[in-house]
Every structure is written in C-alpha cells, then in structure tokens.
Amino acid sequence: MTAVEETTWRGRTEPGPKYLSLARTTLQQAIAYRITTLFNVGLTFIWVIILYYLWRSAYAGRTSIGGLTWDQMRTYVVIAYGINALVGWRTGSAMMATIRTGDVVFEMVRPLNYCTTQLARSVGYTVVEGAVSLAFTLAIGLIFLHIEAPASVAAALLFVLALIIGFLTKVLVVFLVSLLTFWTLNGMGLMWSQQAIMQILSGTIVPLALMPAWLQVIAGVLPLRGIVSTPLQLYLGQSTGWDAVGLLGLQLFWLVALWVLANLAWRRAFRIVEIQGG
C-alpha cells in the first residue's frame, strides 16, 4: 500500500529544481503576452531608426568618428538596443508591483533566496521577450542595415561571455532600484530615472569612446558599462588581449559587488516591512 502511495505522489514530493521551475513559469507568462512583447520590440526600434539616420548624415564625407567607421557605428547602434531590450520593463515593474500590493510577503515566507528568485524570473522573461527582441533586432539589422559580423571567432565568444555577465548585472541593478519601492510609492518615476541613467552610462545611446572626457571617466568605472558597452567593444574587436581581460574583470568585480549589495539591501528592506506590518 505504501508503495502505491509513493508512486502516485511522486510529482509532489519530488519537485523539479526550484529556480528552474520559477524561470519556466515566467517564460509561460511572457508567451501569453506576445503582442505586448512585439510592441516592446517596436519601442526600442524608434531610437535605432533615429540614431541610424543621425549617424548616416554625420558620416557623409567622413570615414571615422571617434575611432569607429560607419559600418561599426551602425552595428553598434543596432546591437546596443538589442542588448538593452534583453531585460525589459516587465522584470522591474513586476518586482515593484509585488512590493506595492504587499504580495512581497509571500516571497518572504518562501524558503528561497529572494535575489535568486528574481534572477530566475528574469531569465524566464528574457528567454522569450529578450530573445525575440534580440532576434528581431539582428534580423532587421542584417537585412536592412547591413550590420557587421563579430570581428573574429574569439571576439564572438568573448561577446557572448560578456553579454551573460552584463545581463546578470542589469537584473541586479533593476532589482536594487525596485527595492527602493519599499521607501517610496512611485515606481514609475524610479523606472524612468533608472532607464534614462542606464541608457546614458551603459553606452546605449552613444558609445563611451565618443562621450565628453568627464562623462567617459564616470561611465568607464561604473558597472553599467558592462551591460552594453563592454560586450560591444569585444564584438567589434576594439579591445583584445589584456584589455579584454581587464574589461571582463571589471564586469565580474561589479557583478559580485552588486550581488552582495543586493542581498544586504534586501535584508534591510525586509526589516522595514516587519516594522510596518506588525
């Protein structure tokens, strides 16, 4: 009799890997909202088009601006926006929503690490939303805008590596910003600020190398460059050898630092909720 019970209840007593199943759930949600996903892709394209035309007229009669050729600049613009769409608006707004409605309490009682939970969810969204965005961007980029391939095989591999670290960095930054919702009610304003600062300092709107010197110094040391600028520098083969190692090292350093910070901040926020929710 016990043997029968064991076999019928196998599904419940042996759940799949926890974080993997979280990722799978959000993946299904993202599929359910595919039209939204499509429009989100359109949103990123407005600025790709604007920047394309702006740079096109800037390169008329010139071969290089800030060390980048027209071919490289075009590639940069398209891929930068593709990467930026990897972690979309949804990840952050979903986190903020749980905090505002109080559903966050349920997250607290779960025997899971909250940071990892959010990371797993973001991966779920990204597999659909981000991958679709990136695929669209690359397809349109290749067909209409004739973007360049990675500089070399090594460059392609380093690009993928940097892209993954950059993705994790962005999730953690979004996570930290979302936590501020514990202190303020206005998620919109926070998201707007975060988006704007990220667009500038990650090098999405314009490559770091072209920025005014003072801005270049600031953007150069901050973690946000690891999200867009670093992967693209490797893609275009602009930094190789020790330079590339240095960039990846900086990325990794910030990733670890942000992870520690995110966990500390979460614990702080946790305490506040306990005090308020007595």
Partner 1 sequence: MIKIFFRLQLVQLRSAMEYRADFWIAAVGAILQQLVSIVFLVTFFGHVSSLGGWTLWQILVLQGLVMAADGLREMFTDGAWQLRADVNSGSFDRVLVRPVPPVVQQFTALASIHGVGNAGLGVVVLIIGLAHSGVQWAWWSVPLLVLTVLCGAILTTAISLLTNMIAFWEPSAQSAFPTLIALMRDFAKFPLDIYGAGIRFVVTVLLPYGLISYFPSRLVLGVGDAPGWWAVTPVIAAAGSSLVASLVWRKGLNRYQGVGN
CB nearer partner 1, residue 131 or residue 197: 197
The nearest distance, CB 242 to partner 1, in angstroms, is 28
- Upper half-sphere CA count for residue 48 (Cβ side, 13 Å): 27
Q: Does 21 bind partner 1 (CB under 8 A)?
A: no
116 binds partner 1 (CB under 8 A): no
Q: Does 248 bind partner 1 (CB under 8 A)?
A: no
Write the binding mask 38 to 77 for partner 1: x where contact by CB under 8 A, - elsewhere: -xx-xx--xx-xxx-xx-xxx------xx-----------
The verdict on 36 binding partner 1 (CB under 8 A) reads yes
When asked if residue 188 is in the footprint of partner 1 (CB under 8 A), the reply is: yes
Q: Which residues contact 126 (CB under 8 A, 6 or more apart)?
A: 86, 87, 167
Cβ 237 to partner 1, closest distance in Å?
21
Task: Out of 189, 218, 257, 267, name the contact with partner 1 by CB under 8 A.
Answer: 189
CA–CA dist 55, 32 (Å, integer): 37
Enumerate long-range contacts of 148-152, CB under 8 Å, 24 or more apart. 148/71, 148/72, 148/74, 148/75, 148/236, 150/235, 150/236, 150/237, 151/235, 151/236, 151/237, 152/237
Give the Cβ contact number of residue 196 at 10 Å.
Answer: 11
- Collapsing DSSP to helix, strand or coil, 65 comes out as strand
SS3 207: coil
Nearest CA to 164 among 220, 116, 231, 117?
231
Stretch that binds partner 1, among 12-20, 75-83, 184-192, 228-236 (CB under 8 A): 184-192
Residue 181 and residue 100 in contact, taking contact as beta carbons nearer than 8 Å: yes
CB 174 → partner 1: shortest distance, Å?
Answer: 15
Q: Is 241 in the site for partner 1 (CB under 8 A)?
A: no
Sites of contact with partner 1 (CB under 8 A)? 33, 35-36, 39-40, 42-43, 46-47, 49-51, 53-54, 56-58, 65-66, 184-186, 188-193, 195-197, 199-200, 205-206, 210-212, 215
